Chain A
Amino acid sequence: MLGIHDKWVFLAYSLSILSTVVCVVYGVFSWNKGDEPVKQEDVQWMKEEVEEVEDAL
């Protein structure tokens, strides 16, 4: 298949592409799932993170 005779290498070649397809399919079907409300702790965490970046400059 595709000029690759070793079944393990062919499997790796195919699974590389198949795993990508799984990622795409998962993303499409989960596009609107998993939304979470922003909590105060999320905002506080982000503020500290931004301050750290600015201080590092």
Chain B
Amino acid sequence: MNLLTIVIVIGYLLATAYLGFRGYKQTKTAADYMLAGRKAHPTIMALSYGATFISTSAIVGFGGAAANFGMGLLWLTVLNIFVGIFIAFVFLGGPTRRMGHHIDAHTFPEFLGKRFNSRLVHVSCGLIIFLFMPLYAMAVIKGGAEFISTAFNVTPDVALLIFALIVAAYVIPGGLKGVMLTDALQGGIMLVGMIVLVVTTYAMLGGVTEAHLTLAGMTERVPAPLTAMGHQGWTSMPKFGWAAPGMAPAEASQYNLWWILVSTIVMGVGIGVLAQPQLIVRFMTVKSQQSLNRAVPVGGIFILFMTGVAFVIGPLSNAYFHQKEVIECRILDEAVLMDPGADGKAKLSILEDGASEEAKARAKRFVAYRLPGEKDDQVPHYVLFTPAMKIERGAEGADKMRPGLIAIARSVDNETTMQGNVDRIIPNFVNSAMPKWFGVVFLLTLLSAAMSTLSSQFHTIGTAIGRDVVGQFVNKPEHTLFITRLGVGAGLIIAIVLGKMVGDNIIALATAVFFGLCASSFLPVFLAALFWRRMSRNAAMASILAGFCTSAFWLVFINAKTAGGLSICKWLFGTPTLLPASMSPTWAVVDPLFVALPVAAVVAVIAGLLTKPMDPAYADYCFGGELPGTIKPLATSTTNSGTPVTK
């Protein structure tokens, strides 16, 4: 990356900031469109929604997961389009908009709080969002940082800091609330970037069928640990099954990948999108169901070219790296030895002189190189050496290497462990396979994807603590506004610190955990709020608590990946998970959503039927009737100085 790249990126950021500024001044928010009596163009509405929906997490994190797990991730694209666009726009958008306007709700917690006339519901939802949305924001920031790290050849920590500064510069002064034109511009850049990516990749690999056939022929290259988990090739679904209780771990684990893929990645995110607070609020900013209907086609096409492309390109990157990659470089050292640690899982470090015989025996060989234009004082790149590697020495440092690795092995270097980093696969692929000019386009694509999502996320985090929690107890708008701003800052800092603390391979997991948590806690109550008049406030609270607690318990004490990572279970009980031996070991890889969402739904129905129904007069009011004089509704907490604090 050269000076021109930096100039283009800064130019893009300035253009975005300028559009955002103009947007505020010249009636360009969704609300302004409506107030001006005009309709936002459906393409702008759909691109704006899509850009908020799709982030660097989807492209870099889930694209990388697809490179590892295979094209089975396309089931998530099916759900993204059919559930996240079609069902959301056609069946949920209209009722949400009508009810939200009628009960005067501006945030998701406020929507549920007012619908059930319960401050407890309102505050609980606000707290859950404030505490856990930074996890998702962290995933989005890390997705951008991984690309910057690869593109600019800086360490992950420096990349995280650079990206955090860009985010802060965008989010804090004015990017808090999506200005439709800015979002739409970002969505447009994302669309162009991904279309170029998929066309170029298929062309490079000989066309659609040829590319898939090449990938299908590489099944024997799947790493042994993935094969043991049921991986059957990048164009196949993993092995499906359910381990019997007491089955030997090696035998039981052959079904793990299917359950991780389907229950966590596909269902967790695919269904979880319906309960995403920052997306639900978007429905309230449209003029009518007609606007939503008209946005459906562009929304569908946009998602296909975002996640559909990412989940095809990811697996195909294996074919590229294995068969096509040629690195034109200056080789510095053909035999750099790196130590993966005694257990083989430590961050790789260059073997020093005088290392023990044990360390020498387990060390792995790498080739150190620099790309054309890189200076001598820059940290070199490293690529794993295998017998498949071909090296051609040229004159004056014009060397060529064909590493012949698969995508995950190509991600292994001095910044990772020998397990590699799936989050680096897409950045590596773009930087290696695409022309240099596309690297800049893709960087803008990722910046756009991150900015549009983060602006909504941080707005939601800020209002969750300011308006939805503190605002319920403090009646002074200026205090609420101050807490909201403080909340945005705190959310940003928490997201950055989390990004620094967590290890590799985290983006898709963190996103899926947050989406699953939202679905389990909010989805049954949200659907009941829209379609079941009888549902009482106690039933709503019971369902939220049941979904949240079941999800949290499963994450901390049952799910092998999250419980193992958090280590709370180990610290409390001395065992990695509390899953009893009498139960199938497959439960340890089943996502919390699979258990918590049904529990929350059953609790909602049973409690809804057993508890005293919502006052019919108040229920009528929520569904469009007049507010009965005998009932006092929840106050509208507001950050504005000019609008009423109570209805």
Interface residues of A, Cβ cutoff 8 Å to B: 2-6, 8-9, 12-13, 15-17, 19-20, 22-24, 26-28, 30-36, 38-39, 41-57
Contact = CB atoms under 8 A, between A and B. Distances in A.
Interface residues of B, number: 73
Contacts of B102: 41
Given A20-B81, A34-B292, A56-B484, A48 B90 contact: no
A38 to B, nearest CB: 7
A43 to B, nearest CB: 7
Nearest to B75: A12
Given A17-B304, A47-B35, A9 B74 contact: yes
Given A2-B208, A3-B212, A16 B288 contact: no
A49 B72 CA distance: 41
Contacts of A47: 31, 35, 643
Given A51-B640, A57-B174, 19 more contacts: A12-B72, A16-B304, A19-B300, A20-B304, A24-B301, A26-B297, A27-B294, A27-B297, A28-B297, A30-B293, A34-B293, A35-B289, A43-B34, A46-B32, A50-B29, A50-B35, A51-B642, A51-B643, A52-B638
Given A4-B212, A4-B216, A36-B288, A13 B71 contact: yes
B577 to A, nearest CB: 29
A12 B80 CA distance: 12
A42 B82 CA distance: 28
B104 A5 contact: no
A24 B209 contact: no
B24 A54 contact: yes
Given A23-B296, A48-B104, A9 B237 contact: yes
Contacts of A54: 24
Contacts of B290: 30, 32-36
Contacts of A8: 72, 237
Given A4-B235, A48-B106, A23 B86 contact: yes
A52 B106 contact: yes
Contacts of A52: 106, 177, 638-640
A6 to B, nearest CB: 4
B422 interface: no
A3 B484 contact: no
B310 to A, nearest CB: 12
A36 B289 contact: yes
B29 A34 contact: no
B611 interface: no
B70 interface: yes
Q: Is the interface of A mostly helix, strand, loop or mixed?
A: helix
Contacts of A2: 208-209, 212
14 contacts: A2-B209, A5-B236, A6-B233, A6-B236, A9-B74, A15-B82, A17-B308, A20-B81, A33-B289, A36-B289, A41-B104, A45-B101, A49-B285, A57-B173
B216 A3 contact: yes
B193 interface: no
Contacts of A33: 289-290, 293
A32 to B, nearest CB: 7
Nearest to A47: B35
B100 A45 contact: yes
Contacts of A22: 82, 86, 300
A16 B77 contact: yes
A1 B209 CA distance: 8
A48 to B, nearest CB: 5
A53 B459 CA distance: 10
A54 B642 CA distance: 11
A41 B506 CA distance: 44
B209 A20 contact: no
Contact of A34 (B82, B176, B288, B642): B288
Contact of A5 (B94, B177, B235, B295): B235
A48 B312 CA distance: 43
Given A9-B72, A52-B640, A57-B24, A31 B293 contact: yes
B299 interface: yes
A18 to B, nearest CB: 9
Interface centre among A6, A31, A38 (most CB of B within 10 A): A6
B195 interface: no
Contacts of A20: 81, 300-301, 303-304
A6 B504 CA distance: 30
B210 interface: yes
B552 interface: no
B235 A6 contact: yes
A35 to B, nearest CB: 4
User: Which are the 3 A-B pairs with shortest beta-carbon distances?
Assistant: A23-B300, A3-B212, A34-B289
B101 A3 contact: no
B434 interface: no
Interface string B159-196: 00000000000000110110000000000000000000
